[in-house]
Amino acid sequence: MQNSGIRKPGCLLGAAAFAMLMAGSALAATPKDTLVVVWAFDDTITMDPAESFEISAGEFMGNSYDRLLRYDVNDPSKLLPDLAKSWTVSPDGKTFTFELREGAKFASGNPVTSEDVAFSLQRAVTLDKTPAFILTQFGLTKDNVKDKVKATGPLTVTLETDKSYAPSFVLNCMTANVAAILDKKLVMSKEQNGDLGYAWLKTNYAGSGPLKIREWRANEILAMERNDNYYGEKSKLARVIYRHVKEAATQRLLLEKGDADIARNLTPQDLDALKANKDIKETGTPKGTVYYISLNQKNPNLAKPEVREAMKWLVDYDAIGDTLIKNIGIVHQNFLPVGLLGASTEKPFKLDVDKAKGLLAKAGLPNGFKVTMDVRTVQPVQGIAEAVQQTAKRAGIDIEIIPGDGKQTLTKYRARTHDMYIGQWGADYWDPHTNADTFARNPDNSDDAKSKPLAWRNAWAIPELTKKADAAALERDTEKRKGMYTEMQAEFRQTSPFVLIYQMNEVAAYRANVENLKIGPTSDATYMFKVTKQ
Amino acid sequence: MSAVNAPSPGGWREWLMSDRPQSRRQAALGRAYGGWRTFSRNRLAMLGLAIVIALLLVALFANQLAPYSPYIGDLRTTRLLPPSAAHWFGTDDQGRDILSRIIHGSRITLFVVVLVAILAAPIGLVVGTVAGYSGGLIDAALMRITDIFLAFPRLILALAFVAALGPGIENAVIAIAITSWPPYARIARAETLTIRQADYIAAVQLMGASPWRIVLRHIMPLCVSSVIVRVTLDMAGIILTAAGLGFLGLGAQPPTPEWGAMIANGRLYVLDQWWVAAAPGAAIFLVSLAFNLLGDGLRDALDPKGVK
């Protein structure tokens, strides 16, 4: 009876109608109230904010879950209220009190209370998944979190830290996905064996954000719908569909044909080619990821301060910026990416072979030297490495490139057995301490140190700078804190063994009828609920 | 060389084709001439030979032939230029002239091919003849080792070796050599098995020759021709494996103009700047094809039954 269905006239009609629909959709654009995004989101492993730490999942969480505060997308160093309408810091700087918004509701209809907030933060610390360090760095542990994070009134929550950190530091961390607010009633009703709803939340949704997650099928689709219970301005779009499309070329074709509204993983070449198409527009935002070349201080040549400086004069920043990283990066020479509090935009270095030669002569190496560089064989990193190899050769520095995959080069880098390394660093949370912690702090430079930040990986002993970085994390006056970071960056530019090259720029191409699309500085701040379609 | 009876001018052909050679030298030269006549009648084989000779010449005179440096380019002014009179094959993403890189890359290709042949063929030959001649336990042991090597996919095994030894063209050569000797051992063993019962071997044995002498002087020379044919036919595979390793970033180190690595580089630009990948791809295709044609011709020419 395999063909029975097709014999029924109703089914036949239905099939014909379906076929026509399909034919129609191939020509027409996507529906007016639906946004279709093509993106490679195969890194997503969960829908649980306490565990998700991937770039793509960050964006889904940012659109679907509220948190106490968000940062201002237009000026990420400013904070805006979200579920908390106001917040205060105690005079000793250790207790933060959040006043919640009245009348806010979860998508399920349950009211948002201080119980939910306390539960969400406690749950993240208790589950202790990858991103939990963003909260536990303030002295929260599984054992003490119930005392440190408390609902003190129906709409009042307090958070106690172990030291008096810079308030901006603590508050910035509250904008992270791991601090998203969950619907306690709903999550706990799905709890199995005391897992705090962990198994259920992997593929389900319990938030209050402007969009709600309807369905996620790994490596296939993620569908979000408007949340009509949202406290703020409701999304103009009825639904947002993310389609997993891995190949850039396929994304480009789908966008050009109108089957997709936004394409997210186009290559610089695709973006260049699409500039000629008047139906397609592009938008980009600098992200929190910086690319750098580092010089291992265990190498006696690279340890010379003059050599460190000379390397910085041997990169043709402008040419690289205009060619290899065109559309995907912006030349940047500081360890704090633009957008973070206190980030400097100073760019003192440019290609100057004579100056570098002078410095090398001063270091006692007038004829240059030989050195190796570990390079991942992916673009644009490899292209940049080859370009630097060429320019360094002009000053007599002979760089031998050792190609490898990510695991090989990273293993070597982590064991600090490299000479030179080219790689990137992405901000873990939206506060300058995330990068200062790794670039400018090295509390223990011995081989068996407990914490191994980037400064350690390059054997750069910096007791003074470490103290400054620690002080900046505790400075309570935001303006003063900003100044401290500016000062640290100036010193870092001159003395560090890091040649900062560029900051990543994420570009999306979209159909001309899409409006108000803005890529956020972090993945959780690309807000699709603000997008409208003509 | 008293054995060489000075033939009359123009009688060289007759002398070479003589049914009754009067010296070993004459016999060997005669056989070679016969082989050459068979070979030269095969036009495709001649085409293959011409391309291989051209490759040799290009590699030899790379410095004179290449119009630009293969290592220096200008990001600003010469990046990704389409083929033109100034740059016949265009320029790549670092602004380097692709023609110059292909010309210099021919050296690397030849280096890999020759070195693998020098390393792998003797190993295979020795293992195969020794196994075939001695038989018994030694044969079983050597052939099982061969089986083990044959059981791995070649590129995967080469990848593992390169990962262990570290990237670089020398290590790629070693890895390919290690993975390509087993077929030669098999061929040499099969040949040895047919030869070992021959009367002349029994005669040498009676004269008291040591097994090593028999294998080296009396068996191996007879196996060489079939191994040479097989090696020539394999050269295309060797080039492709080397290019594959280069493509995966485990062969040549940048900025070495290795053809496989050049294709890997051009992959990003294949939609809009096709020439970056096309030129090295065509070079690999041409040289592999040439070695295959040459190998085919050699097989016909070196076949003892085929010589007229």
pLDDT digits (tens, 9 = 90+) for A192-216: 998 999 999 999 999 999 999 999 9
Is B273 in Cβ contact with A386 (below 8 Å)?
no
Using the beta-carbon criterion (under 8 Å), do A316 and B75 form an inter-chain contact? yes
Provide mean pLDDT across the span A302-312: 94
Q: Tell me the chain B residues in contact with residue A403 when contact means C-beta distances shorter than 8 Å.
A: 167, 249-250, 253-254
Give chain A positions within 8 Å (CB) of B264: 377
With beta carbons less than 8 A apart as the criterion, state whether A399 and A371 touch.
Answer: yes
Contact present, A148 and A83 (Cβ < 8 Å): no
The reply to whether A268 and A299 lie within a common domain is no
Same domain, A246 and A290: no
Q: Say which DSSP state B214 is in.
A: I
Q: Which among A489, A507, A485 has a CA at the least distance from the CA of A498?
A: A489
Within-domain flag for A442: yes
Q: Does the distance separating the beta carbons of A375 and B271 come in below 8 Å?
A: no
pLDDT in tens, B186-239: 999 998 998 888 898 889 889 988 888 988 888 888 888 888 888 888 888 888
Of A273, A377, A387, the CB nearest to B94: A387
Q: What are phi and psi of A472, to 5 degrees?
A: -65, -35
The verdict on B260 touching A (C-beta cutoff 8 Å) is no
B261, closest residue in chain A (CA to CA): A377
pLDDT of residue B306: 53
Classify strands A498-511 and A262-263 as parallel, antiparallel or unpaired.
antiparallel
Cross-chain Cβ contact A390/B73 below 8 Å: yes
Domain of B48, in residue numbers = 24-302
Chain A neighbors of B250, CB-CB under 8 A? 403-404
Looking at the fold, whether A436 and A348 belong to one and the same domain comes out as: yes
Show residues of chain B in contact with A326, CB under 8 Å. Answer: none
Q: What is the mean pLDDT of chain A?
A: 89
The tokens of B23 are what?
A: 């010296």
Q: Which residue of B72, B167, B271 is in closest CB contact with A402?
A: B167
pLDDT in the model for residue B8:
57
Residues with Cβ within 8 Å of B296's Cβ and at least 6 positions away in sequence, in order, are: B42, B44, B45, B48, B233
Cβ of B249 within 8 Å of Cβ of A403? The answer is: yes
Are A403 and B72 an interchain contact pair (Cβ–Cβ within 8 Å)? no
| Residue A248 tokens, joined | 């850039």
Q: How many CB atoms lie within 10 A of CB A17?
A: 10
Q: Specify the number of domains making up chain A.
A: 3
Predicted pLDDT of residue A478: 87
Q: Return d(Cα A190, Cα A188) in angstroms, integer.
A: 5
Is B12 a member of any domain? no
pLDDT of residue B196: 86
Q: Give domain status of residue A223, yes or no.
A: yes
pLDDT band at A303 (very low <50, low <70, confident <90, very high): very high
Q: How confident is the model at residue A451 (pLDDT cuts 50, 70, 90)?
A: confident
Residue A3 included in any domain: no
Best residue in A382, A388, A393 for a mutation probing chain B (most B CBs within 10 Å): A382
Does residue B308 carry a pLDDT above 70? no
What would the pLDDT profile of A475-512 be if each residue is shown by its tens digit? 888 899 999 999 999 999 999 999 999 999 999 999 99
For residue B41, count other CB atoms closer than 10 A to its CB.
12
Domain span at A60: 55-201
Q: Which positions in chain B touch A324 (Cβ < 8 Å)? A: 75, 93
- Closest chain B residue to A317, measured at CA: B75
B296 pLDDT higher than 90: no
pLDDT, tens digit, 9 for 90 and up, residues A243-277? 999 888 889 999 999 999 999 988 887 888 898 89
Shared domain for A73 and A104, answered yes or no, is yes
Compute the distance between CA of residue A308 and CA of residue B164 in angstroms, rounded to an integer. Answer: 32
The model's pTM is: 0.77
User: Would you call B94 and A382 a contact, using CB atoms and an 8 Å cutoff?
Assistant: no
Residue B4 lies in a domain: no
In the predicted structure, residue A338 carries a pLDDT above the cut 50: yes
Place of tokens 């749950």: A123
B81 touches A at CB < 8 Å: no
- Name the band, by pLDDT with cuts 50, 70 and 90, for residue A459: very high
Please judge whether B254 and A316 are an interchain contact, meaning their C-beta atoms are less than 8 angstroms apart: no
Calpha distance B12→B26 (Å, rounded): 11
Strands A420-426 and A370-376: parallel
pLDDT at residue A267, as a whole number: 83
Interhelix angle B136-151/B98-134, nearest 10 degrees? 150
pLDDT of residue A268: 82
pLDDT of residue B5: 54
Q: Which residues neighbour B172 within 8 Å (Cβ) at sequence distance 6 or greater?
A: B112, B158, B162, B242, B245, B246, B250, B251, B252
Q: Look at chain B and report how many structural domains it folds into.
A: 1
SS3 for A96? strand
Chain A interface, mutation test: which of B69, B77, B94, B245, most A Cβ atoms within 10 Å?
B94
Please report the pLDDT score of residue A249 as a whole number.
Answer: 83
ipTM for the whole predicted complex goes beyond 0.95: no
**Cβ atoms < 10 Å from Cβ of A266:** 24
B166 touches chain A (CB under 8 A): yes
Domain membership of residue B163 (yes or no) is yes
d(CA A22, CA A12): 15
Q: The CATH number of the domain where B219 resides is what?
A: 1.10.3720.10
Give the Cβ contact number of residue B207 at 10 Å. Answer: 8
